[in-house]
Structures are given as structure tokens and as C-alpha cells.
Amino acid sequence: MKVGIPGGLLYYRYGRLWNSFLHALGAEVVESGETTRSILNSGVSKAENESCLPVKVFYGHVLALKEKVDALFVPRLVSVKRRTHTCPKMLGLPDMAKAAVGDAVPVISPTIDFQSGLWHNYRAVYSLGRIFTSDPRRIIAAGVTAWREHRLYLERLTLGLDHRGALRGEADRLLCEGRDLRIGVIGHHYNVYDTFTTMSLLERLGSMGVDVMTADMVPEKLRERELKRLPKDIYWSYEQEVAGAILACSRYRLVDGIIFMISFPCGPDSIVRVLCEQENRLMGGVPMLTLVMDEHTGEGGFLTRIEAFVDMLWRRKRREAEELEAVAV
């Protein structure tokens, strides 16, 4: 059976896990590849106008697989952490995929919900495995292998590899190599690692002589510590990761500046943006630039803001160095 995995949204976090699991069960896995202009255009034409940019991109990836596979694999992630939920659009991804392809291709959509306990998720994974094999030992072995591959992928991200480098297990260079200027590029995986929608931001910053720190590279203990300081819990699973990373980068001066990547019109990101900007200002934190992306974002204006922000950070760093020199003298 040919099973298609759309290369958008949660693919940037769990794609390696899904691919390894399905492949170990004997499925022929077909991925839609990286985002292109044609994929984005087809997604924009199919999705609702009110959908955020990543959802429109996801539609495009689904349509790119429609004629190539026997089934689509689109899990429904309700919660990946206790007392939290994913974005409402994540909950509805299988339904969106079904609406996009109609009856042409069945959609395999196991429900993962950590609010319901581990046993619920074990049963969901086992039921998924039964689609491909009746051997429970093979399902368990596939799960163990996939989880190992997933952990390895995440570890590579924490070490400074980008998405493509983490998938291959090698990279031409690390995002963080000890340069004089370091910028935190913080956002959801699909807002940071999609080279098309971000116009290769990570690579461009590297070519400017800038080190990049992503949310994956911020120690989890620091992220959790910052979340506990907030007066109220953040209920969205992935927004917690983003907010914790921004606040940790600011409080502990892990970076010289922060670029917060969000997509229009994401509701949870908009709320977290205001929260992080206020907290960053109160603690006298580092300069912060918010980049809002949609399908109309032009490369010229996008790059101008990046270059101006980098120039400002260089001037600020030189001024601080001169002030320290004056004090030392």
C-alpha cells in the first residue's frame, strides 16, 4: 500500500516518526516533498480564506499526493501534554484532508490524546498497525524503531541542525557555530523550517555571519521555568514551547535579538506575541522583531526588515563593547 504523508504542519515535528513507523510495517511511504510555489497556490485555491498560511500550505501538500497514493496519513493530535490542547486547526486536519480529496483517497487518522492517558494512545497506535499487519510483535517493533528515530531527529535539532540536516543526519554547517552575533529564530517548526514560506531565513542569516538559535536549542528546563513564572497557564501545547523559548532567551541573554515567526491569522500566536512582548519589556530583555507571514508576503520587504534588524543588533553590540571598554579604562 502506498501511504502519503503531507509535508506540512506537524510533518516538521513528527514526519520522521510517521515515516519510520509506516515503513517498518511494510507500507510504501510517499512524501509530498518541500513546499513550492505551485503547492502553495493549489492550497490557497482550496482552503478557506480565513485559514492561516500553514493550513493553506498543508492543503497544497495534500493535493500534491492525491493522485500518487492509495491512502493519506493525517493523525488527529488532540493533546501532546497533560492539561493542554493543540490548535483547533490541528484537531481538524483529518477532516480538512478528507474535504480536499473527497472520496478519491481514504484518510488514515489515528487520534492521539495525552489527556486520555497512555493506554488510549497505545491502542490508537496498535489499531493503526493492524491496518498493515496482524502480527503484534511487528507492530511493537515498528513503534520502538520509530520512536528511536524520532528521538534522534529531535536531538539533532537541539544540536543545531536544521530540519533537512536532522533528517539526513548530516549538515553542511550548524545553525550555531560560535559567531559574534546570535539571533533566536523562534516559532512553530513549520514556521521556522519551511524554507519556502520563510524564504530560506535560516540560511540567509548564516550568510550574514549570524548564529541562529531555535526553540529546540533552548534547554527544556529553562523553558519550563519561564512558563511557571507566568500568572496563568498557556493552554496550547506548542504555544508553551514557543513562549518558554522566547522568555528564556530574553531573561538569560542566550541571544542578542529575537525574531518571532508567526503566520497570519493565527489566534494563539497573536495572544502569545503580546504576552511575550510585554514580559520581554518588563525584564528589560533583548530586541525583538515579529515577522507575520502570509501568502502575500513579498521577498523584498521581508529581507529589508531582516537586514535592518541585523544591522541594528550589530550597532548595539559594538556600542555595548565600547561602553565596556570605557569603563575598563
**Can you tell me the distance from the alpha carbon of 323 to that of 241, in angstroms, rounded to the nearest whole number?**
35
Which residue would you say has higher pLDDT here, 168 or 58? 58
Upper half-sphere CA count for residue 131 (Cβ side, 13 Å) = 22
Instruction: Evaluate whether the domain defined by 175-328 bears CATH number 3.30.360.10.
Output: no
Q: Which tens digits make up the pLDDT trace of 204-234? A: 999 999 999 999 999 999 999 999 998 888 8
What are the extents of the domains in the chain?
2-158, 175-328
Q: What is the pLDDT of residues 242-301, one digit of tens each?
A: 999 999 999 999 999 999 999 988 888 888 999 999 999 988 889 999 999 888 888 888
What is d(CA 35, CA 256) in angstroms, rounded to the nearest whole number?
30
Position 61 scores a pLDDT of: 95
pTM: 0.90
| Same fold? 2-158, 175-328 | yes
325 has a pLDDT exceeding 80 = no
- Identify the H or E element spanning 314: helix 299-328
- Four-point Cα dihedral 319, 325, 328, 329, nearest 10: -120
Which fold, 2-158? Answer: Rossmann fold (3.40.50)
